[in-house]
Chain A
Amino acid sequence: MVLITGGAYQGKVDYALEKFNLSRKDIYTCSVDKVEMPEGAPIINNVENLVKACLDNGRDPLKYLAARKSRWVRSVIIVNDISCGLVPMDAEDRAYREAVGRTSMYLAQEALAVVRVFAGIGKRIK
């Protein structure tokens, strides 16, 4: 698995498509409404949405992902970096931000490579 992280609108998807020679149909986009992880999607985008769906449904996102490792271990996972703002006022938002952070660290540990995309340019940081 390769983890791609970076801020909003930085070109994470474009980077993944180009680097691994994939097309838009290879992308699975996680939903905030449904706790779901398909089998072997080449690109799993917006994994923060899956974290949100897990929290909303009383599931632990880390346990959920760890139990389904075979489904993403040969994929590219893309996560939005949402770590750099003020501490959210709302308790639910705080829990969400923390869970996304913990999930990102877990995935970064599991990843063969981690890339941070900045202004459209990727830098391998692991």
Chain B
Amino acid sequence: MNVFISGGAKNGKSSFAQRLAVNMAKEKNCPLYYVATMVPHDGEDRARIERHRDDRRGLGFKTIECGRDIDVEIRNRGDGVFLIDSVTALLSNEMFKADGTVDGEASIRISESLKALCKDMDGLIFVSDFIYADGVEYDEITDGYIRGLAIIDRALAKACDRVVEMINGIPIDYKDDRAIQEDWGIKVDKE
């Protein structure tokens, strides 16, 4: 089973993802990996990473630090449960280059590689961020980033078996609702 998780800030995405990963690894009886995608830029980032490492200690995660081409890294490990936190960081790592240029193709590339990964592997958990409902009109580059993340999110949601939105620590599963497939008996007038 592959799972896509997103939601607003401080809604319990990471802790839900961790609990899910631990349970999946137990069930599959396989190694448990945490794919840390954030590349630290300063002391604040490093402190945050340390704090997250502490949180995961004792849960049995092996940490893989990998900011790009995570599909290669994951394929190399083979069998396992992989918690990928976060898709958001993956995109910024690849889209915003160190020399200040922007790679407009990054989102397509990442979504294609992750789609293929989902097809070939089992036990992937992706955490993303729901950054689409603040109604702010951003500059072109920021808007391109938001649009790019949506491309990846939608590709992953399509490819994954479970699509979860976290709200106040409560998971809402968008693929657990067969009612959406039903005919509602509502007709829309065509011109």
Contact = CB atoms under 8 A, between A and B. Distances in A.
A85 B135 CA distance: 7
B177 A123 contact: yes
B134 A113 contact: no
A22 B190 contact: yes
Which of the listed residues B4, B130, B146, B190 has the most CB atoms from chain A within 10 Å of its own CB? B190
Nearest to B173: A123
A112 B186 CA distance: 8
A83 B163 contact: no
B132 A9 contact: yes
Interface residues of B, number: 33
Contacts of B174: 118-119, 121-123
Of B135, B163, B179, B187, most buried by chain A (CB within 10 Å of CB) is B135
Interface string B131-149: 0111110000000001100
Contacts of A120: 153-154, 157-158
Interface in A48-90: 74-76, 80-86, 88
Given A8-B146, A121-B175, A42 B190 contact: yes
A33 to B, nearest CB: 16
B147 to A, nearest CB: 5
Nearest to B165: A118
Given A10-B150, A119-B163, A120-B158, A83 B190 contact: no
Nearest to A23: B190
A77 to B, nearest CB: 11
| Consensus secondary structure, chain A interface | loop
Contact of B150 (A9, A22, A42, A115): A9
Interface in B153-177: 153-154, 156-158, 163, 165, 172, 174-175, 177
Contacts of A43: 188
B72 interface: no
A7 B150 CA distance: 10
B133 A124 contact: no
B189 to A, nearest CB: 5
B140 to A, nearest CB: 14
Contacts of B158: 120-121
Given A6-B132, A8-B146, A80-B133, 14 more contacts: A10-B150, A11-B154, A42-B189, A42-B190, A76-B188, A81-B133, A82-B134, A83-B133, A88-B135, A113-B186, A115-B180, A120-B154, A122-B180, A124-B184
Interface of B: 4, 6, 8, 130, 132-136, 146-147, 150-151, 153-154, 156-158, 163, 165, 172, 174-175, 177, 179-180, 184, 186-191
10 contacts: A7-B132, A26-B191, A42-B191, A75-B188, A80-B135, A83-B135, A85-B136, A112-B184, A120-B154, A123-B174
